[in-house]
A = this chain, B = another copy of it.
Amino acid sequence: MASIQDIARIAGVSVATVSRVLNNHPYVKKEKVEAVEKAIAETGYIQNINAINLKKGKTNLVGVVLPIVDHPYFSQLIQGISQAAASHHYKLVLYQTGYHEGQEMEALEMLKLKQIDSLIICSRKVSLEIIERYRQYGMIVLFENGGTTPLSYTFVDHYTCFMNALAHLYDKGHREIGFSINRSDGTNSRYREQAYQDFLKMKGLPYHEEYMVRDCLYLEDGERILERFSQLQHRPTALLATSDQVAAGIVIASSKYGISIPEDLAIIGFDNHPIAKAMDITTIGIPLNSIGQLLFGQTLSKEMSHEEVAVRLIERRTV
Contact = CB atoms under 8 A, between A and B. Distances in A.
B219 A46 contact: no
B96 A82 contact: yes
Interface residues of A, number: 53
A272 to B, nearest CB: 13
Contacts of A110: 49, 91
A53 interface: yes
Interface string A74-85: 111011001100
Give the dominant DSSP class at A's interface: helix
Given A46-B137, A48-B113, A96-B86, A69 B79 contact: yes
Interface string A39-67: 00000001111111110010101000000
A115 interface: yes
A112 B70 contact: no
A246 to B, nearest CB: 11
Interface of A: 46-54, 57, 59, 61, 68-72, 74-76, 78-79, 82-83, 86, 91-96, 103, 110, 112-115, 137, 218-220, 222-223, 248-249, 252-253, 274-275, 277-279, 289
Given A75-B75, A79-B70, A96-B79, A219 B49 contact: no
A307 B70 CA distance: 24
A51 B49 contact: no
Copies of this chain: 2
A46 B114 contact: yes
Nearest to A68: B79
Contact of A92 (B47, B94, B223): B94
Nearest to A82: B96
B96 A274 contact: no
A220 B279 contact: no
Please indicate which of the listed interface residues A95, A114, A115 has the most CB atoms of chain B within 10 Å of its own CB: A115
Given A48-B114, A91-B110, 14 more contacts: A46-B114, A49-B114, A61-B115, A70-B79, A70-B289, A75-B75, A78-B94, A91-B94, A91-B95, A92-B94, A223-B278, A248-B275, A249-B278, A253-B278
